[in-house]
Chain A
């Protein structure tokens, strides 16, 4: 069965610190990769996505993620976090099989707390 692993359940950083959140997935084949974010009191929203091409993708608010196929990873990064980045971050993967997309599977999430 497909699975998505997020290594850190809770990360606490001070403002201006660098961020890297880990994400690994368990399937071979063609995948589309996503990071979603849920700010306090708000709905889940897409942060960035990777379909193909340049493995380094940039999203909103200065976030970026790198797809490393050999490591089955899609880690999220930001050089300098802000207090407003406090949120829960979810990695998600969808397997593209025979031209059709399978189910989008989410990781368990990482709660990021940024201290002012």
Chain B
């Protein structure tokens, strides 16, 4: 069974530039998450989708961050414009709706903003 796939694995951009991350969850997983992980800290939820609906986006900085999950499968997280403080690892995870908390994570996308 294929795991959660994320791309790109690494991205280096200059501040004020846009960046986008892509995630393909495990087939059949209707819940998709985007987490932010700073060095030395645990993952922090940015947004959670149930199918194509964003059910928890309270911690997504909506002035510069946006996300979409068209057709309830793949998802894209965008930052525009990026700031120095956005340097972090962006994690995508998926789970079955009936198994909350049992997340399957991708390898993450490491963003460096110069």
Residues of A near any B CB (own CB < 8 A) = 4, 9, 32, 34, 36, 42-46, 49, 90, 92, 94, 96, 101, 103-109
Q: Contacts A109-B41, A109-B42 given; indicate if A104 touches B101 (C-beta within 8 A).
A: yes
Pick from B18-26, B62-70, B71-79, B102-110 the stretch touching chain A: B102-110
Which residues of chain A are within 8 angstroms of B103 by Cβ–Cβ distance? 36, 44, 46, 104
Interface contact A107-B42, CB-CB below 8 Å? yes
Which residues of chain A are within 8 angstroms of B45 by Cβ–Cβ distance? 103-105
Provide the bound-state CA to CA distance between A18 and B39, in Å.
Answer: 27
User: How far, in Å, is B45 (CB) from chain A's closest CB?
Assistant: 6
In order of increasing CB-CB distance, the 6 nearest A-B pairs are A106-B42, A101-B100, A44-B105, A94-B101, A43-B105, A43-B107
Interface contact A103-B40, CB-CB below 8 Å? no
In the complex, number of A-B residue pairs with CB atoms less than 8 Å apart: 53
User: How far, in Å, is B83 (CB) from chain A's closest CB?
Assistant: 23
Which residue of B is nearest A96, CB measured?
B100
Interface contact B42-A46, CB-CB below 8 Å? no
User: How far, in Å, is A88 (CB) from chain B's closest CB?
Assistant: 9
Provide the bound-state CA to CA distance between A90 and B42, in Å.
Answer: 7
Which residues of chain A are within 8 angstroms of B81 by Cβ–Cβ distance? none
Which residue of B is nearest A9, CB measured?
B40
